[in-house]
Chain A
Amino acid sequence: MTPEPSQRVRLVPVRHHSPACARVVRDLIRNWRPEAVLIEGPADFNPQLHELLLPHRLPVAIYSHVRLADGARRGAYYPFCVYSPEWQAVTAAHETGAAARFIDLPWASQCRDDPGGGAAPSAQRYAEPQLRYSQYVKNLCAAMGVDDFDALWDELFEADPGLSADEYLTRAGLFCSQARALEHVSIHDRRREAFMARELLRAMEEFPGRILVVTGGFHTPALLAALMTPEPAAPVPDGGAAPEPAGCEAGIALTPYSYERLDRLIGYDAGMPNPGFYHCVWRDRSEDRPFHAEAVLAAVVAALRRRKQCLSAADAIACLTAARTLAAIRGHADVWRRDLIDAMRGSLIKDEVTRGGTHPLLDAIAEVFRGDARGRLAEGTSLPPLVRDVMNRLEAHQLTPTGAPCEIMLDLADAAARDCSRLLHLMQILEIPGFLKADGTDLTLRQDLASVWERWEITWSPDLNARIIEASRYGANLLEAAAAALAERMDKHGRDFAAAAAMLVEAALAGLGAQSGTLCARLEGMLKDAGDFFAVATALGHFMFLHSYDHVLELERREQLGPLLRETAMRGLWLLESHSSQNVQDDQGLLPGIQRLLDAFERCHDRIGLRLDDLVDVLLRVERDPAQGPLVRGAAVGVLWTLRRADPEQVLSDLRLFADPNRLGDFLSGLFALAREPAQRELELLRAIDARLCSFSDEEFLLAAPSLRLAYTFFTPREKHHLAGNLLRLSGEPPAGQLPPASPALMASPETALRALAFESRLSQTLNRYGIRQP
């Protein structure tokens, strides 16, 4: 007769990446000697579990990826660092000879049951969103006077060095069951828990002895309930036992990880922050030594001195004193995380620190608290998934570099060539040596898009493999890694919005449409600080191209660009309004930007929710704003005229305002650039300009001439000829019909004119058919 379940099964609720939990788990396995240890981890990794025991340098992660029937790829990481309870469970089980087994529902099944569930392409499976965002935790934080879940967890479980395993289990059991009681448990979690419960029951049949179960604290109450009533009244479909459905390709493997990635995640995927700090805690306490925060402080001081920040011993003393006093007030036996951070912030920073703001010192603290550990897989582990992914793709397109350098030409009108080009762009983004774009159409300039082509040089490089393995820190499949690398590069670019926007074009070239959501979000964040109209207008051009006009790139999820495009246009509008340069040379550059704003509002307004009235309102103000130069005001009234929001009288009255020979040409430049068609049709305008010019004295005319000439360069020779004809007709000098002949270059034979007419009528029919522009 086997003992009662309650005596031979022990459930240990843990928080992933918690050193306190890791100690409890390790000690329980060593002292209680279970026969089997069941761990929350992907069950489909069990056949490869021995690979975890190879001498890796931590942190490493299990990466599980799946390609769903609809072609979407989703991946998930299960990261392990030395102080992860899961890691300690695996190694301690190995040490004591217990069987270790992962019991969580495989990622592929989770995705299949929950199609389209996560918006993020990848997930960190050891985050605790259920606890982090639970109402219970919020209430408890308020009651205990701490700021967030991490600080609360520190208070309850981490900081106390004398916390015994029994005390931990009582406290954590209470904490988790109460947190769960207040929360809605998603169907997704229920499925996973049903799977875990079944695995547990199966293990109880297989192993007659003791069983230790290590799972996230949120799930423990469910397992306990399942243990008490092994036959659930209403079984929840778990789907785990079914074989992988057809059309679904999945894989699982180890991959290197880093503390940087562990710490970088924020929001729903956030795990436990500050891995570097907890690493130190684990290092000391796992060997029953007291934890000394002095070492961490010393590391911060060293990091600051490396950054050439002078920091005296007196500062360090003041800081440590403050930290110890804080620890005493807060009832911590050892100086703890928040104590150190607060003390350093108070005693070392002599500036204002805004909420969420940055400061070089805070960066140094964050660097030390993050730690710089980077994982490396031991010899004999199967290759990281990224290497296989890259090699397979290169092979499929016959682009694998060989000994001899080769050169390929791609015409992107061809679908197969586009696929090749995307792959090559991906390699270039990841900076994998040997793939160089030597020449081709520049889609950020978009000068001649009649044919879009590229020439690539492919050479073999000795460190090809090494660089791909290195790049696997960005992600375990090529698309994800390239998107992450691009996002990192965007961050480095900081404030150059136009350059960052060009990277989105690069992403589109690489076929990263589905991954562009994070890039768009970053760009939206940068937009707030973009203060340069030219940069924003350039970026607007890129986004318009990607959103509306592209036929080569076939960007996926193009609709993601909508909000970004809208915000960029609005930002551009605001910058135009607050622009107040009187320098005409600078203002010249504004004209293409204003043109682009007009395009965006006119052509995309209904699709992305821009209101044409916003543009009109702003331009009405710009047109009247005495702080704006004549060029910009001319352009503003030009746009309004084009949009039929200003009548010719308005234009004429503005013209009178700028009749001064110093400003006339600039005003007309702006007007002609933005209102090219109405300006040619309106004879009154011509007459008014003529009258103005005739009233100039010779000196005045000479003064006005250069800018006037510039203004008229916006017209083609034929248009100029037409204008001249109109002018002569107005002044009535040579009788009508006796215009001087146009230059031979402007003459067209009747046949050409007929062909042109036929073409124009076809064109306007087509335009009408698609409702693009009413004649």
Chain B
Amino acid sequence: MKNQAGSANASIKGMQRPAAELLYAEELAKLAERDAKNVKPPGWRLSPRAVVDFVLGDPAKELQPKFVGSRSFVECCIVALATNRGLMLIGEPGTAKSYLSELLSAAISGDSTLTIQGSAGTTEDQIKYSWNYALLLAEGPGERALVPAPLHRGMQEGKIVRFEELTRCPLEIQDTLLSVLSERVLHVPELNAEASTLYAKNGFNVLATANIRDRGVNEMSSALKRRFNFETVQPLGDIAEEMALVQRETGRLLQQAGVALTLPPDKTELLVTVFHELRQGKTLEGKGLEPLTTVMSTAEAVSVGFASALHAYYYNDGRVLASHLVKNMVGSAIKDSADDLKRVRHYFNHVAAGRKGDAWREFHEARRYLDEL
């Protein structure tokens, strides 16, 4: 999904995970140049069409493929950001919501770092602004003493502010966004008359993400809901696409870990098929299954594939066995639910048992690991 070779930009060397605008700096510069004459929403670096091209990638235009999803969906997201409402990306965990939000803000504002990470402990200080207390005591409340948080900076500089996992914040913290989103004004009552109101510059908007099926998630007030456009990020529907993605991503992770091994394609196919069927609650032949309560996301499939390959590399001379997949899958799929264990066992006995091919047979034989739980 991401650039493996590393860009020419020397500044990202040694970074564990460079931000999208650094990683794709060349692409963004090229796009901006080509896009110079097109109409852009006020405060945007690129036109909406160029943003779509960047996010989805287009080999014909020398753009790397990045987010995998339908064009019309990405268009909807971009349009929401161009209107006077915020954009809320919702969906199951592991559907690349945060990645999409990073790409969008990198393309639109050239900056994906104005990020608020929502959690049970998020405070208003971390969202709006706080104070440098030494200066505050020495000089009193003034602009020098104010320490802007991402929302303040986004409004001041006219950039997209990312709010990750919005629903993990308590309701009253979420609601601090209300007036900002509708009035586009931030009040700083401590400052003097003129400086006490910060009017958002063009280009500012809020891009939030939220998980639906995770635990520890709070409700959202309908007042806040009204100020967002909601777009659901779907898990990949096309199994071939998902296989390609899992293959690519495990390859990248293994390379990063210095492991000279790739997941064999038949194992990838098996892994993705199992995840796909358990997620959809339906076999490829269209038979109904009981869907798991655990989320079987593509990201989870990647991590199972990665862990299995590591396991094989260090303890089995690099031969990835179906039993590696089963062991790691059990850890991810059946973390804490006895019912899910029953469902997975049912899957083994009634779906996997009937499949042809060596990989499936091996997989079915590895079902004894289920009983070790």
State the A residues within 8 Å of B (CB): 145-147, 151, 314-315, 318, 321-322, 325-326, 329-330, 338, 342-343, 345-347, 349-355, 524, 527-529, 567, 570-571, 574, 577-578, 614, 617
Contact = CB atoms under 8 A, between A and B. Distances in A.
Contacts of B307: none
Contacts of B293: none
A614 B78 contact: no
Contacts of A342: 72, 75-76
B75 to A, nearest CB: 5
A384 B334 CA distance: 59
Contacts of A574: 290, 346, 350
Nearest to A563: B287
A100 B357 CA distance: 59
Interface in B17-57: 48-49, 52, 56
Interface in B298-343: 339, 342-343
B79 A329 contact: yes
Given A350-B222, A571-B288, A577-B346, A330 B234 contact: no
Nearest to A330: B75
A325 B39 CA distance: 12
Contacts of B235: 355
Given A326-B79, A329-B49, A329-B78, A528 B281 contact: yes
A350 B225 contact: yes
A205 to B, nearest CB: 50
A147 B342 contact: no
A528 B288 contact: yes
B123 interface: no
Given A145-B70, A350-B220, A352-B91, 9 more contacts: A145-B72, A342-B75, A346-B76, A350-B225, A350-B226, A528-B282, A577-B346, A578-B339, A614-B349
Contacts of B220: 350
29 contacts: A145-B56, A146-B71, A146-B72, A147-B70, A147-B72, A322-B80, A329-B49, A329-B52, A329-B79, A330-B75, A338-B72, A342-B72, A342-B75, A346-B79, A346-B231, A347-B229, A350-B225, A350-B228, A351-B90, A352-B90, A352-B91, A353-B232, A354-B234, A355-B235, A570-B350, A574-B346, A577-B342, A578-B290, A617-B349
Nearest to A527: B288
B129 interface: no
A145 B290 contact: no
B75 A352 contact: no
Contacts of B232: 352-354
Contacts of A147: 70, 72
B230 interface: yes
B342 A578 contact: yes
Contacts of A570: 350
Given A342-B76, A574-B290, A347 B71 contact: no
A355 B234 contact: yes
A321 B289 CA distance: 41
Interface of B: 48-49, 52, 56, 70-72, 75-76, 78-80, 82-85, 90-91, 212, 220, 222, 225-226, 228-232, 234-235, 237, 281-282, 287-290, 339, 342-343, 346, 349-350
B31 to A, nearest CB: 16
Nearest to B288: A528
A417 B75 CA distance: 64
A582 B320 CA distance: 43
A329 B281 CA distance: 36
Contact of B229 (A322, A352, A527, A617): A322
Contacts of B70: 145, 147
A325 B79 contact: yes
A62 B232 CA distance: 42
Contacts of B339: 578
A614 B349 CA distance: 8
Given A318-B229, A354-B234, A571-B288, A329 B75 contact: yes
Contacts of B212: 352
A151 B75 CA distance: 14
Contacts of B90: 351-352
Contact of B79 (A322, A353, A354): A322
A325 B72 contact: no
Contacts of A527: 288
Contacts of B49: 329
B349 A329 contact: no
Contacts of B85: 318, 347
Contacts of A349: 230
Nearest to A319: B229
B15 to A, nearest CB: 33
A766 to B, nearest CB: 36
B287 to A, nearest CB: 7
Nearest to B71: A145
A67 to B, nearest CB: 32
A346 B71 CA distance: 15
A315 B235 CA distance: 28
Contacts of A330: 75
A321 B75 contact: no
Given A329-B48, A574-B346, A322 B230 contact: no
Contacts of B237: 355
A146 B349 CA distance: 40
A303 B225 CA distance: 22
Given A145-B71, A578-B339, A578-B342, A351 B230 contact: yes
B350 A346 contact: no
A349 to B, nearest CB: 6
B197 to A, nearest CB: 24
A276 to B, nearest CB: 21
A614 B350 contact: yes
A326 B75 contact: yes
Contacts of B76: 322, 326, 342-343, 345-346
Contacts of B78: 329
Listed residue (A338, A349, A571, A574) with the most chain B CB atoms within 10 angstroms of its CB: A574
Contacts of A325: 48, 79, 82-83
B209 to A, nearest CB: 12
A70 B70 CA distance: 48
Given A355-B237, A574-B290, A346 B72 contact: no
B55 to A, nearest CB: 12
Nearest to B349: A617
A325 B231 CA distance: 16
A346 B229 contact: yes
Listed residue (B212, B231, B237) with the most chain A CB atoms within 10 angstroms of its CB: B231
Contacts of B52: 329
B222 A321 contact: no
Contacts of A577: 342, 346
Contacts of A326: 75-76, 79
B174 to A, nearest CB: 14
A326 B83 CA distance: 11
Listed residue (A145, A147, A151) with the most chain B CB atoms within 10 angstroms of its CB: A145
Nearest to B48: A329
A346 B80 contact: yes
Contacts of B281: 528
Nearest to B343: A578
Listed residue (B90, B222, B350) with the most chain A CB atoms within 10 angstroms of its CB: B350
A190 to B, nearest CB: 32
B202 to A, nearest CB: 16
Nearest to A351: B230
Given A147-B70, A578-B342, A567 B79 contact: no
B257 to A, nearest CB: 33
Given A329-B49, A567-B287, A567-B288, A318 B75 contact: no
Contact of B230 (A329, A346, A578, A614): A346
A520 B224 CA distance: 46
Nearest to A578: B342
B126 to A, nearest CB: 25
A398 to B, nearest CB: 46
A347 B230 CA distance: 6
B340 to A, nearest CB: 11
A571 B350 CA distance: 11
